[in-house]
Structure 1
Amino acid sequence: MGKINDVFSSRIHLSVYLDGGYHVFDESIYHISDLTPTSKQLWKKPIGVLELGILKVDGLHPMKARDGRGTSDAYCVAKYGRKWVNGSDNKDLLIGKVRVRISTLETGRVYPNSYPLLMLHPSGVKKMGEPNLAIRFSCYSMVDLMQMYFKPHLPKMHYKRPLNVMEQEMLRQQAVNVVAARLSRAEPPLRKEVVEYMSDTKSHLWSMRRSKANFYRLMSGFSGFLSVGRWLGEVSTWKHPMTTVLVHILFLMLVCFPELIMPTMFLYVFVIGMWNWRFRPRHPPHMNSKLSYTDGVTTDELDEEFDTFPSTKSPDIVLWRYGRLRSVAGRVQSVVGDLATQGERVQALVSWLDPRPSSMFMAFCLVSAVVLYMTPFQIPILIGGFYFLRHPMFRSKVPPAPVNFYRRLPALTDSML
Structure 2
Amino acid sequence: MKGGAMQPRPFMMHGPGGPMPPPQQFGLTETRPPLAAMQRPRFNIPGLNPSAPANAAGKISSTYDLVESMRFLYVHVVKARDLPAASAAGSIDPFVEVKLGNYKGSTPIHAANHSPAWHQVFAFSATHLQSHLLEVAVRAKDLAGAGDDLVGRVAFDLSEVPVRVPPDSPLAPQWYRLEGRRGEKLHRGELMLSVWLGTQADEAFPDAWHSDAHGAASPQAVASTRAKVYFSPKLVYLRVAAIAAQDLIPHDASSRAMNASVKLQLANQIRRTRPGGPPGSPNPMWNEEFMFVASEPFDDPLFITVEDRVGPGRDEPLGRIILPLNQAMPRHDHYGKPVEPRWFSLLRPGDDSPDRKHPDHKFASKIQIRMSLDFGYHVLDESTYYSSDLQPSSKHARKPSIGILEVGVLGARNLIPIKAKDGRATDAYCVAKYGPKWVRTRTILNTLNPQWNEQYTWEVFDPCTVITVVVFDNSQIGAKNGGDARDEHIGKVRIRLSTLETDRVYTHFYPLLALKPSGLKKTGELHLAVRFTCTAWVNMIAMYGRPLLPKMHYSQPISVMQLDYLRHQATQIVSARLSRAEPPLRREVVEYTLDVGSHMFSLRRSKANFYRITSLFYGFAAMAKWYDGIRSWRNPITTMLVHMLFLILICYPELILPTIFLYMFMIGLWNYRYRSRHPPHMDTKLSQAEFTHPDELDEEFDTFPTNRPADIVRLRYDRLRSVGGRVQTVVGDLATQGERAHALLSWRDPRATAIFIFLSLVVAIVLYVTPFQVLMVIAMLYLLRHPRFRSRMPSVPFNFYRRLPAKSDLLL
TM-score calculated relative to the size of structure 1: 0.72
Q: Structure 1 residue aligned with 2:503, among 108, 111, 117? A: 108
2:545 maps to what in 1? 150
**Which residue identity lines up with residue 263 of structure 2 in the other structure?**
H
When residues 215 and 60 of structure 1 are mapped into structure 2, their CA distance, relative to the original with a 3 A threshold, is same
- What's the offset of the Cα at 1:170? 1.4
- What's the offset of the Cα at 1:320? 13
**Correspondence list, 1:27-38, <5 A:** 27-38=382-393
- What's the offset of the Cα at 1:241? 4.5
Alpha-carbon displacement from aligned partner over 1:86-141 (angstroms, at most 9, x marks no partner)? 24664421111000001111111111111010111112111111110011111111
Gaps of 5+ in 2: 1-249, 265-289, 293-372, 444-473, 477-485, 732-771, 773-812
Q: Contact 1:23/1:37 (CA < 8 Å) preserved in 2?
A: yes
**Which residue identity lines up with residue 433 of structure 2 in the other structure?**
K
**Correspondence list, 1:216-227, <5 A:** 216-227=611-622
SS at match of 2:588: helix
Q: Structure 2 residue aligned with 1:74, among 412, 428, 437? A: 428
- What's the offset of the Cα at 1:317? 12
2:524 maps to what in 1? 129
**Which residue identity lines up with residue 77 of structure 1 in the other structure?**
V
1:13 maps to what in 2? 263
1:304 maps to what in 2? 699
When residues 292 and 16 of structure 1 are mapped into structure 2, their CA distance, relative to the original with a 3 A threshold, is closer
Give me the whole-angstrom Cα distance separating, in 1, the residues matched to 2:503 and 2:634: 50
Is residue 57 of structure 1 aligned with residue 419 of structure 2?
no
Q: Contact 2:412/2:527 (CA < 8 Å) preserved in 1?
A: yes
When residues 138 and 317 of structure 1 are mapped into structure 2, their CA distance, relative to the original with a 3 A threshold, is farther
SS at match of 2:410: strand
Give me the whole-angstrom Cα distance separating, in 2, the residues matched to 1:198 and 1:120: 15
Q: Which has the higher contact order (CA 8 A, sep 6+)?
A: 1
- What's the offset of the Cα at 1:67? 5.7
- What's the offset of the Cα at 1:238? 4.4
**Which residue identity lines up with residue 625 of structure 2 in the other structure?**
R
Is residue 257 of structure 1 aligned with residue 507 of structure 2?
no
C-alpha RMSD over aligned residues? 3.0
- What's the offset of the Cα at 1:7? 5.0
- What's the offset of the Cα at 1:65? 2.7
Q: Contact 1:116/1:131 (CA < 8 Å) preserved in 2?
A: yes
- What's the offset of the Cα at 1:187? 2.4
1:167 maps to what in 2? 562
Q: Contact 1:22/1:37 (CA < 8 Å) preserved in 2?
A: yes
- What's the offset of the Cα at 1:201? 1.9
- What's the offset of the Cα at 1:244? 2.9
- What's the offset of the Cα at 1:319? 7.7
1:44 maps to what in 2? 399
**Which residue identity lines up with residue 54 of structure 1 in the other structure?**
V
Q: Contact 2:705/2:714 (CA < 8 Å) preserved in 1?
A: no
Q: Structure 1 residue aligned with 2:625, among 230, 235, 248? A: 230
**Which residue identity lines up with residue 209 of structure 1 in the other structure?**
R
When residues 251 and 16 of structure 1 are mapped into structure 2, their CA distance, relative to the original with a 3 A threshold, is closer
Is residue 138 of structure 1 aligned with residue 533 of structure 2?
yes
**Correspondence list, 1:300-379, <5 A:** 300-315=695-710, 322=717
Q: Contact 1:22/1:158 (CA < 8 Å) preserved in 2?
A: yes
Q: Contact 2:706/2:714 (CA < 8 Å) preserved in 1?
A: no
Is residue 269 of structure 1 aligned with residue 667 of structure 2?
no
Q: Structure 2 residue aligned with 1:181, among 568, 571, 576? A: 576
Give me the whole-angstrom Cα distance separating, in 1, the residues matched to 2:421 and 2:562: 47
SS at match of 2:619: helix
Give me the whole-angstrom Cα distance separating, in 2, the residues matched to 1:235 and 1:151: 43
Q: Structure 2 residue aligned with 1:213, among 608, 614, 622? A: 608
Q: Contact 2:499/2:679 (CA < 8 Å) preserved in 1?
A: yes
Whichever structure has more strand as a proportion of its residues is 2
SS at match of 1:120: strand
SS at match of 2:707: coil
Q: Contact 2:405/2:531 (CA < 8 Å) preserved in 1?
A: yes
Alpha-carbon displacement from aligned partner over 1:121-178 (angstroms, at most 9, x marks no partner)? 1121111111100111111111111111111001011111100112211111111011
- What's the offset of the Cα at 1:314? 4.7
Give me the whole-angstrom Cα distance separating, in 1, the residues matched to 2:691 and 2:652: 51
- What's the offset of the Cα at 1:239? 5.1
Give me the whole-angstrom Cα distance separating, in 1, the residues matched to 2:679 and 2:419: 32
Give me the whole-angstrom Cα distance separating, in 1, the residues matched to 2:420 and 2:706: 31
Q: Contact 2:487/2:589 (CA < 8 Å) preserved in 1?
A: no
Give me the whole-angstrom Cα distance separating, in 2, the residues matched to 1:317 and 1:236: 58
Q: Contact 1:86/1:188 (CA < 8 Å) preserved in 2?
A: no
Give me the whole-angstrom Cα distance separating, in 2, the residues matched to 1:116 and 1:254: 51
Q: Contact 1:113/1:132 (CA < 8 Å) preserved in 2?
A: yes
Q: Structure 2 residue aligned with 1:83, among 437, 448, 453? A: 437
Give me the whole-angstrom Cα distance separating, in 2, the residues matched to 1:84 and 1:49: 15
When residues 64 and 272 of structure 1 are mapped into structure 2, their CA distance, relative to the original with a 3 A threshold, is same
Whichever structure has more helix as a proportion of its residues is 1
- What's the offset of the Cα at 1:315? 4.0
Q: Contact 1:311/1:318 (CA < 8 Å) preserved in 2?
A: no
- What's the offset of the Cα at 1:35? 0.8
SS at match of 2:621: helix
Give me the whole-angstrom Cα distance separating, in 2, the residues matched to 1:243 and 1:41: 60
Alpha-carbon displacement from aligned partner over 1:219-269 (angstroms, at most 9, x marks no partner)? 222322332233224434545554333211110011122232222212221
1:98 maps to what in 2? 493
Paired residue total? 326
Give me the whole-angstrom Cα distance separating, in 2, the residues matched to 1:11 and 1:111: 58
Structure number with greater Rg is 2
SS at match of 2:490: coil
Q: Structure 2 residue aligned with 1:281, among 665, 668, 676? A: 676
Give me the whole-angstrom Cα distance separating, in 1, the residues matched to 2:550 and 2:663: 37
Q: Contact 2:630/2:638 (CA < 8 Å) preserved in 1?
A: yes
SS at match of 2:708: coil
Q: Contact 2:704/2:718 (CA < 8 Å) preserved in 1?
A: no
**Which residue identity lines up with residue 428 of structure 2 in the other structure?**
A
When residues 144 and 6 of structure 1 are mapped into structure 2, their CA distance, relative to the original with a 3 A threshold, is closer
- What's the offset of the Cα at 1:318? 5.1
Is residue 191 of structure 1 aligned with residue 545 of structure 2?
no
1:25 maps to what in 2? 380
SS at match of 1:71: coil
Q: Contact 1:96/1:128 (CA < 8 Å) preserved in 2?
A: yes
Q: Contact 1:26/1:175 (CA < 8 Å) preserved in 2?
A: yes
SS at match of 1:197: helix
When residues 65 and 81 of structure 1 are mapped into structure 2, their CA distance, relative to the original with a 3 A threshold, is same
Alpha-carbon displacement from aligned partner over 1:55-104 (angstroms, at most 9, x marks no partner)? 01011111113663x41112111000111112466442111100000111
**Which residue identity lines up with residue 51 of structure 1 in the other structure?**
E
When residues 166 and 322 of structure 1 are mapped into structure 2, their CA distance, relative to the original with a 3 A threshold, is closer
**Which residue identity lines up with residue 194 of structure 1 in the other structure?**
V
Give me the whole-angstrom Cα distance separating, in 2, the residues matched to 1:86 and 1:309: 31
Q: Contact 2:706/2:718 (CA < 8 Å) preserved in 1?
A: no
**Which residue identity lines up with residue 187 of structure 1 in the other structure?**
E
When residues 324 and 46 of structure 1 are mapped into structure 2, their CA distance, relative to the original with a 3 A threshold, is closer
Using the aligned pairs only, state the percent identity.
57
- What's the offset of the Cα at 1:306? 0.5
Alpha-carbon displacement from aligned partner over 1:348-401 (angstroms, at most 9, x marks no partner)? xxxxxxxxxxxxxxxxxxxxxxxxxxxxx9xxxxxxxxxxxxxxxxxxxxxxxx
Give me the whole-angstrom Cα distance separating, in 2, the residues matched to 1:67 and 1:197: 25
- What's the offset of the Cα at 1:316? 10
